[in-house]
Structure 1
């Protein structure tokens, strides 16, 4: 029994997380309709900057496409049936039946072998491309063998392997999976944003120390890669700076059967954690339970910093076509950098990247965390002549906080004072702690807008936000 337990432990240890950027040359296999391709020594696929590249010899001999190489122009022409693809070495665009198409990586020459991006070529030829991250295996399925990439195919995360090693012809439809829309790390807390209820499995590993979070029946949202690093193997990572406990956050589409996203926190030593999963769109792993980080029960005030809008919601559009969401996030990150040095209070961001967060989720996060203050950051829009700063509140208990924050907003911005105002806003109404929404100026006013996007202005108002919070809490 002890021997079996040790074996299980070793398997878990070895496969706790696949190495980011693992070389594909010796470890990647390719299956076509369930049959393994026999790759010669000089025909091994390559992992180049997270993209699976395949020699044109394999395209011709193993996939059966017609391939022509023009040495003078360094052009590869690939044909099958009524589809013709032209790719040029070192150019990140191709043509498909004469129409230009963008490439994530350009074809290249390596040791007299021309490499082309496998996913692009295969999908343009109508093949379903799947990836099993656990085994580093590419699965190619022709239209007559597996549904051809229709609604029932899981082309975003790869086809699954059944227990006997064959292709699963009926992978879980993507519409039944939870989508992970964002991952962030703030105030010594990992925050995972999801679009539906999930039941994560969280456990610790040692040598080296890690906390592993598995989210079953999930996939990365289609917008995830635009805001986070994510390679062709569905692997990515975030380097963590400024926190002594965590060095890196790694994430991966770890398994396709069931479809599981794995997130790993690389630690500097063994750490305890608490899990908050209130089915509100957030999974939170809180490391603030060790003595080095006082817990909420020790009376350290928690402030929620809310960067308005984000993702598919751009907010107001300025006179120079700039997006409010970008301004809001820039201020939030500057406020965060200042709060990192404040030892008397704690903070958390509702978003630290360009992702969409519902209004109700912003308020619920603050309520579930039992926050002491809530500050939402925005820029205004109206007439071309409107100028100045405003502070909004909804509930009467928020008025003293609003007055304090507005005083510092006026001083730090240098813009006209448009007063403290009351308004029925979701984030200031549904939160249970003092809550304000700050408008830093008018994007519809060319003078305000020009000022809002300068580093000097943003640094000044960020300091004003922090000073207002500290003053209200009695720390100034």
Structure 2
């Protein structure tokens, strides 16, 4: 009897394991890739799979469907992908890639599955300038080339549907989760809207600097509803017919359930800024600025079309606020590279590049706040993610005078020093001035001013540079870059370089 019972248990266990494996196999093969509205076709034995959150595709699919030149080196286990002036080198089971000679880290390495090499589609596509978004509810990856509009079937809600209210829900919400027609203490401002358009916009970045909340979006125009509430004092920004970009909601934000908050330390008027997908019918993003006391505000957006919405708290009761760069001030955009789910390079002791970039950018912002002839904007003021094209578009929409992107480098352990990159001839003079101050500030070897075809300094319209402050892969450089004194020196050097270039005393 015991033997019979054991055999029955064993049989049941085998049936359960087969069922689990079948479901896993079905899930693995259920990921779709849509390129400019058309599904990529792959053979039966080359299914698209999801590995630890990364969509992996056979590297041949990349070449056949995206027009890249792909090669496989059997002996070295390398995948070589190239198009125009961009080249990518991937190695099976290695979490480092080489892009135009520069090493970058991967969340998941290329794999060899059933004698077929699969590669992470997001990494390859974005390096080649293709926009990638993820619809978790439908297990679909959308690829959009520069010549195409963002796919309308991608709602931009990331991990799926459902309402997630802002923490500490506001009074006056309807039972369904949307906003009621009027809310207690609501003060509407009809001048704060821009012409509406059909379809959902995608919120791709939220940042706060110089007492200004900036919301970057793509796709359709947004008609914001901005109003004040009391008990406690706050400014509410509702963005109807809008959702979050899947990139913006990656990493920690996705895990938190489509909600998050910004770091507002150093701004006494504001105690917190929080955001969430407030409603899904219609899809509505809500951003709340919690205030220490009642505060006036003004709202303006890029007049040329959708892209950048600014809620400016620098407004007195009697004087309307000026847009960024008002009163003849020079406009400077400081870009902290990477952020959130994109850590950048990892250092010798696993410190993250994104943390160094942000720390220096915030210090630069604190110094620029004391410059009466300079108005500045940080592309990100905390650990959030902003796509490369959004960083460049913020600077372009603001008609900035200078753009500075802050990064740290990676390479062989012996590599050390500071580099400054420019892409256009109009940026060479800025690069020379910035590099002079950078080398002095770090005390690291001078690796020179160099040409680099980086997106943020290529697509910006004003003089723009990308600073590689030092090598995190070198233990001595890493220790220096994460010291408070060097970060302060670098921040001051950046400010001094900007002032010299702009001719400001």
Structure 2 residue aligned with 1:308: 337
Structure 2 residue aligned with 1:22: none
Q: Quick check: 308-317 or 266-275, which moved more?
A: 266-275
Structure 1 residue aligned with 2:391: 362
2:371 aligned with 1:342, yes or no? yes
Mapping of residues 46-445 of structure 1, within 5 Å: 151=138, 155-157=161-163, 180=203, 182-194=205-217, 196-205=219-228, 211-219=235-243, 224=249, 240=264, 242-243=266-267, 246=270, 248-266=272-290, 268-276=294-302, 282-287=308-313, 291=319, 294-295=322-323, 296-445=325-474
Q: 1:454 aligns with which of 461, 469, 483?
A: 483
Residues 150 and 473 from structure 1, CA distance in 2 versus in 1: closer, same or farther, beyond 3 angstroms?
Answer: closer
Q: CA deviation at 1:445?
A: 1.7
RMSD of the alignment, in Å? 3.7
Would the aligned equivalents of 1:236 and 1:251 in 2 still touch at CA under 8 Å? Answer: yes
C-alpha distance in 2 between matches for 1:150 and 1:422:
42
Q: CA deviation at 1:411?
A: 1.0
C-alpha distance in 2 between matches for 1:187 and 1:464:
20
Structure 1 counterpart SS, 2:441: helix
**CA-to-aligned-CA distance 1:366-397 (integer Å, 9 cap, x gap):** 01100010001011122222211111112222
Gap runs ≥5 in structure 2: 1-15, 17-135, 140-158, 166-173, 178-198
**CA-to-aligned-CA distance 1:413-458 (integer Å, 9 cap, x gap):** 1111111122222222221111111111112222212211122211
**CA-to-aligned-CA distance 1:164-191 (integer Å, 9 cap, x gap):** 9899xxxxxxxx9655454321123212
Would the aligned equivalents of 1:179 and 1:195 in 2 still touch at CA under 8 Å? Answer: yes
**CA-to-aligned-CA distance 1:171-225 (integer Å, 9 cap, x gap):** xxxxx96554543211232122446435232333476876432222344567649
Would the aligned equivalents of 1:253 and 1:262 in 2 still touch at CA under 8 Å? Answer: yes
Q: CA deviation at 1:245?
A: 5.8
C-alpha distance in 2 between matches for 1:449 and 1:245:
35
Residues 415 and 227 from structure 1, CA distance in 2 versus in 1: closer, same or farther, beyond 3 angstroms?
Answer: same
Structure 2 counterpart SS, 1:263: strand
C-alpha distance in 2 between matches for 1:466 and 1:211:
32
Residues 375 and 280 from structure 1, CA distance in 2 versus in 1: closer, same or farther, beyond 3 angstroms?
Answer: farther
C-alpha distance in 2 between matches for 1:444 and 1:249:
35
Residues 293 and 401 from structure 1, CA distance in 2 versus in 1: closer, same or farther, beyond 3 angstroms?
Answer: farther
Residues 225 and 361 from structure 1, CA distance in 2 versus in 1: closer, same or farther, beyond 3 angstroms?
Answer: closer
Q: Quick check: 385-394 or 235-244, which moved more?
A: 235-244
Residues 150 and 393 from structure 1, CA distance in 2 versus in 1: closer, same or farther, beyond 3 angstroms?
Answer: closer
Would the aligned equivalents of 1:238 and 1:249 in 2 still touch at CA under 8 Å? Answer: yes
Q: CA deviation at 1:250?
A: 4.3
C-alpha distance in 2 between matches for 1:360 and 1:237:
23
Residues 249 and 382 from structure 1, CA distance in 2 versus in 1: closer, same or farther, beyond 3 angstroms?
Answer: closer
C-alpha distance in 2 between matches for 1:467 and 1:235:
37
Q: CA deviation at 1:406?
A: 0.9
Would the aligned equivalents of 1:219 and 1:261 in 2 still touch at CA under 8 Å? Answer: yes
C-alpha distance in 2 between matches for 1:279 and 1:294:
20
C-alpha distance in 2 between matches for 1:393 and 1:401:
9
Would the aligned equivalents of 1:230 and 1:236 in 2 still touch at CA under 8 Å? Answer: no
Gap runs ≥5 in structure 1: 1-81, 83-148, 168-175
Would the aligned equivalents of 1:274 and 1:287 in 2 still touch at CA under 8 Å? Answer: no
Structure 1 counterpart SS, 2:311: strand
C-alpha distance in 1 between matches for 2:448 and 2:500:
19
C-alpha distance in 2 between matches for 1:365 and 1:150:
30
C-alpha distance in 2 between matches for 1:165 and 1:211:
22
Residues 150 and 310 from structure 1, CA distance in 2 versus in 1: closer, same or farther, beyond 3 angstroms?
Answer: closer
Residues 229 and 187 from structure 1, CA distance in 2 versus in 1: closer, same or farther, beyond 3 angstroms?
Answer: farther
Residues 154 and 423 from structure 1, CA distance in 2 versus in 1: closer, same or farther, beyond 3 angstroms?
Answer: closer
Structure 1 counterpart SS, 2:298: coil
Paired residues in the alignment total: 316
C-alpha distance in 1 between matches for 2:320 and 2:369:
15
Q: CA deviation at 1:277?
A: 7.5
Structure 1 counterpart SS, 2:448: strand
Would the aligned equivalents of 1:381 and 1:442 in 2 still touch at CA under 8 Å? Answer: yes
What TM-score results when the alignment is normalised by the length of structure 1?
0.57
**CA-to-aligned-CA distance 1:327-359 (integer Å, 9 cap, x gap):** 211211121122222222111111122233222
